[in-house]
Amino acid sequence: MAILENIRKRTTVLILIIGLALFAFVISGIFTGSDFSGGKISSIVAEVNGEAIGREEFTRKLELAQRQFGQNFSATQLVNRVYDQEVRNTLLNQEFERLGIDVESDQIVDFIKNTGYAQDPSFQNENGVFDAEVFKTTIADWRETQPLLYDNWLTIEKSIIQSAKEQIYFNLIKSGVGATLAEGEFDYQLANDKVDLAYVRVPYTSIADSSIQVSKSEIADYVKQHQNEYKQEKARDIRFVFFEEKPSTADETAVKEAVTALMGDTVEFNEAANTTDTIAGFKTTKDMAAFLDRNSDEKLDTIYKAKRDLPAVAADQIMALAVGETYGPYKDGSSYKVTKMMDRKSNGTVKASHILIAYEGATRANSSIKRTKEEAEAEAKRLLTEAKKADTEFSVLARDNSDGPSAPRGGDLGYFQEGVMADEFNDFCFNNPVDAIGLVETEFGFHIIKVDDKQDVVQVATLAREVEPSEETVNTLFTDATQFEMKVSDADANAFDDIAKESDYTVRPVNKIAEMDENLPGLSAQRNIVQWAFNEETSVGDIKRFDLASGYAVVQLTKKYKEGPMSAEDASALVLPKIRKEKKAAQIIANNKGETMDAFAKDNNVTVSTASAVTIKSPTIPGAGREPYVVGKAFSLAEGATSGLLEGESGVYMVKLNKKNQGVKLPNFSTFAQTLSTQNQNSVNSGVYNALKEGAEIEDNRATFY
**Spatial distance between the Cα atoms of 182 and 676, rounded to a whole number of angstroms:** 11
Residue numbers in the chain where pLDDT is lower than 70: 1-42, 273, 594
**Spatial distance between the Cα atoms of 411 and 420, rounded to a whole number of angstroms:** 17
Q: pLDDT digits over 321-358, tens only?
A: 999 999 999 999 999 999 999 999 999 999 999 999 99
The pLDDT, as a whole number, for residue 40 is 42
Q: Which contacts qualify for 157-160: CB closer than 8 Å, 24 or more apart? A: 157/108, 160/108, 160/111, 160/112, 160/115, 160/117
Indicate whether this model's pTM tops 0.85. no
The pLDDT, as a whole number, for residue 12 is 39
The pLDDT, as a whole number, for residue 625 is 92
DSSP E strands, 210-291: 231-232, 235-244, 266-270, 275-279
Sequence-separated (6 or more) residues with CB below 8 Å from residue 430: 347, 350, 418
Sequence-separated (6 or more) residues with CB below 8 Å from residue 425: 354, 440, 442, 447, 449
The pLDDT, as a whole number, for residue 32 is 31
The pLDDT, as a whole number, for residue 42 is 67
Q: pLDDT digits over 611-631, tens only?
A: 999 999 999 998 889 999 999
**Taking Cα atoms as reference points, which of 415, 416, 413, 418 lies closest to residue 448?**
413
The pLDDT, as a whole number, for residue 19 is 42
